[in-house]
Amino acid sequence: MKLLTQNDLPLHEGTAVAIGLFDGIHAGHTTLIHDIECQAGLKSLVYTFDTKPNHAAYKNIYTAGEKVSIFASMNVDMLYEQPFTKEFSQLTKEAFLQRIVKDMCAKHITVGFDFRFGRNAEGTAGYLQEQAGRFGYTVYVVPAIKSGAEKVSSTLIRGYIEHGEMERTASLLRRFYFIDGKIEKGRHLGSSIGFPTANISTDKLLPRYGVYATIVQIDGKCYPAVTNVGVKPTVSDAGVPNVETFIFNFSGDVYNERMRVNFVSFLRGERPFPNVAALQKQIAQDAHLAQEMLRDLEVYKEYILW
């Protein structure tokens, strides 16, 4: 997959373009990707944005780097991430569309039914359809995708993540929710009580604070693990959340290595313990439960992104 920059524009080969924020890259987004990949004679191109407009406190479901790895796994030909600058936010709907047609050489455009664009979100999927003849492209508007009675959306998935409902999250994403990061040096508190951990921090959306059965990926290999997300109230008063993982049957120096933590199932909420001994006993119980759950990693392979 080619990562486009401003220096690559304008393109000179016809493209089928899927446009959207793609926060979550869920089942509905997969339909958009499938559509652009089915357009004969056109290169598939995803046009997305580097942030959610007007939401300073917004936590992304996926980071920009994670989105790249997901789109690459879906065999998209090209990806362009539009910086959401003040200047860009003031483009009229017509000016935005002209950019897509001219810079991206769009011959086919696909969007979700609720896609909005341009200054004050004045552009709609209907507007794209109205202008198709004028600009010489075809359009496909993806209708709402349902999961039972609920519309699949990033908002729905965000709620599942925030409540620790990882099985439901995986069913809508069609992959485990994961967090990527570089393993950091900690205070070695885990090692001191018999559970050495690999720690990563992130600015993206965190699952509900608590303990999870997880599958970690390091250097192309998968390992069962148990992960705590939160602020570790028993042993720390810093109040800074992180992702701390005890990897089963693993040894070696992995500091500064990249690690992906796939969240399989919520085990319990984070809570303070009266002393370290009580915490140690609980961690042992959590680890045993997670090990039993993850005894056969083969059954989880289809939900792991490589």
Helix axes 93-103, 125-135, angle to 10 degrees: 50
At 241-251, the pLDDT tens digits run 889 999 998 87
Domains recognised in the chain with CATH numbers: 2-147 (3.40.50.620), 170-303 (2.40.30.30)
User: For the whole model, what pTM was predicted?
Assistant: 0.88
Supply the pLDDT for residue 236. 59
Supply the pLDDT for residue 207. 96
Residues of the chain with pLDDT under 50: 53-54
The structure tokens listed for 114 are 């609720």
At 229-279, the pLDDT tens digits run 998 665 555 567 889 999 998 877 777 889 999 999 999 998 888 888 888
Supply the pLDDT for residue 58. 65
Instruction: State the burial class of residue 288 (Cβ atoms within 10 Å of its Cβ: 0-12, 13-18, 19+).
Output: exposed
Supply the pLDDT for residue 237. 53
